[in-house]
Chain A
Amino acid sequence: MTILINSSYIVASIAFVMGLKWMGRVETARKGNLISALGMTVVVLATLATPGMTYEWIAAGIVIGSVLGAVSAMRVPMTSMPEFVGLYNGFGGLASLLVGWAEYHHNAPVWTVGGAPEGPAPIWFTALACFLTILIGGVTFSGSMVAYCKLAERVIGGKPILYKGQHVVNLGIILVVLLIGAAFAVHPGGQVTYALFAVAIVLSLLLGILITIPIGGADMPVVICLLNSYSGLAGAAAGFVILNPVLIVAGSLVGASGIVLSIIMCKAMNRSFANVLFGGFGATAGSGPSGAHGEAKAASPEEAYYVLEAAGSVVFVPGYGMAVAQAQHVVRELGELIEKNGAEVCYAIHPVAGRMPGHMNVLLAEANVPYEKLVEMDAINPTMNTVDVAIVIGANDVVNPAARDDESSPIYGMPIINVDHARTVYVLKRSMASGFAGIDNPLFFKENTRMIFGDAKATIQALVAEFKAS
């Protein structure tokens, strides 16, 4: 039986590796996700076959969790995807925390008795693994809940929350936690240690909140990736507690992938990890000098129609505003009408547009835009000066020329989509208010820029109507 169980753990590990590999190509991605899910099923079944299991609680837990997971996942609209991924991620972290706690609760009485029998691993090792599991799991959980609230704009908004001396407070908490961890490894059993353990749980939850609240909504893609990484590491730590290799393999794969994606995101914004985590990006911006002067020129959809009708090439640049307005379907419709009119149409996607990595790709895919039409920033920028019309839909910071030209701008150095190089730029926006990062945008005042104020969906619908009427 043990051989069979262990073999299925190996099979499942292979499934996770193949799954992630296949997830890296559009053609095989779906297959990759399915094989990974299959691997998970094998692991669960193999664990259930472990001798000495009792099933009442397990069955109830699996049914309740699966139903809640499946129903919520089928109902969530694509526009709310970022916050839901954050939420699920947090639940994974919480599960790890609870596993660490349960194992500690189980072991603590044994560990107090002097000279408890050494298992396959030394007691200090298992104790430390328990400790790391609750620590990383706790940070993942509370951090993800903050990310969820920020993304869903519940309770707290997307703005960074900063206070004086926060780095000192965080550092203090980390030091205390590390001290508790050390005490734990030395003396894992006993009432006092259990109390310390409880303190560590509370502190880990607090730490997750404190390190996430100063990070602004514009940096959420990085935070989501990072928390994803943590949840994997929490799983791996739980694997060290119960000495199960499949948790360690799967957990470290997730841990590594989250870190890689965070680094890619940071590069896309030309910022360091440290800057994202400790910078409080956007908190100081907004009122500062950014060289944005002049008068913005407004245009009506009718005027825009005549320009679009004559255009030979059109580039859409979607941002979070498109998601909020749920405009992706009409955007695709407009794109098709323009194509029928004889112009080339494509969609330029900035790597950090939206609230999670690749958010815009998913929304446009939902609207049936073929993925060949989605062009990455680096591919579109060299040809931007040959583009007749660029239409910016609810994107602010990723097209802000201040990132290129203005050294005093907080986003200086971030690669942007150079829409201002196109012959004409239409910016669809509700008002002149600055974007999520809170930075003024000189693009609005450029000679070749026209603002079309109003709800992005209504504006695009008006353009669609103009095309259909002609």
Chain B
Amino acid sequence: MVEMMLLVFTFVLAIFLGLELISKVPSMLHTPLTSGSNAISGITVVGALVAAGTLHDSRFGTILGFVAIVFAMINVVGGYVVTNRMLAMFKSKEKGGQS
């Protein structure tokens, strides 16, 4: 019961932290930010790992977990790679970005 309340507490605080972090980002960075935070949402892979790796009592549950890992990893890896690709293109003139 205590653990549950602590998690609810964490949830509320993290929401406020997120609101603070994002509210002043320049619009130029909105696309990479959307795609980068999208990659973070793949954190659900942890739940998928638990489902595929520890819930042995049913084959069906393991398969659900396995499929969840596949999709979560596409989300995580694809999201980070795409974001990195985008950010790599933002170049400043002073730094010799002109090619």
Contact = CB atoms under 8 A, between A and B. Distances in A.
Interface of A: 16-17, 19-21, 23-26, 29-30, 32-34, 36-37, 40, 43-44, 47-48, 50, 52-55, 57-58, 60-62, 64-66, 68-70, 72-74, 76, 78, 81, 84-85, 88-89, 91-92, 94-96, 98-99, 101-103, 105-106, 120-122, 125, 137, 224-225, 228, 231-232, 234-236, 238-261, 264, 268, 349, 351, 356-359, 361-362, 365-366, 368, 370-374, 376
Interface string B69-86: 111111111111111111
- SS of B interface (majority): helix
A72 B22 CA distance: 28
Interface of B: 1, 3-4, 6-7, 10-11, 14-19, 21-58, 60-94, 97-99
A69 B76 contact: yes
Contact of A242 (B4, B11, B24, B47): B47
A270 B18 CA distance: 24
B90 A254 contact: no
Given A62-B69, A91-B78, A92-B71, 10 more contacts: A23-B32, A29-B29, A57-B53, A68-B74, A72-B74, A106-B57, A245-B6, A247-B44, A260-B19, A261-B30
B41 A99 contact: no
A247 B46 contact: yes
Contact of B41 (A30, A235, A249): A235
Contact of A125 (B4, B28, B79): B4
A122 B58 contact: no
B71 A366 contact: no
- SS of A interface (majority): helix
6 contacts: A20-B40, A57-B66, A81-B86, A102-B64, A244-B46, A248-B11
B41 to A, nearest CB: 4
A260 B44 contact: no
Given A72-B74, A368-B99, A99 B10 contact: no
B40 A254 contact: yes
Contacts of A48: 49, 53
B62 A57 contact: yes
B18 A255 contact: yes
Contact of B33 (A23, A246, A366): A23
Given A44-B49, A254-B38, A358-B27, A370 B97 contact: yes
Given A33-B83, A81-B82, A232-B37, A98 B18 contact: no
Nearest to B78: A69
Contacts of A259: 19
A264 B52 CA distance: 39
A209 B34 CA distance: 21
B40 A61 contact: no
A69 B77 contact: yes
A26 B90 contact: yes
A246 B86 CA distance: 27
A259 B88 CA distance: 26
Contact of B71 (A58, A91, A260, A358): A91
A81 B82 CA distance: 8
Contacts of B45: 40, 44, 95
A379 B91 CA distance: 21
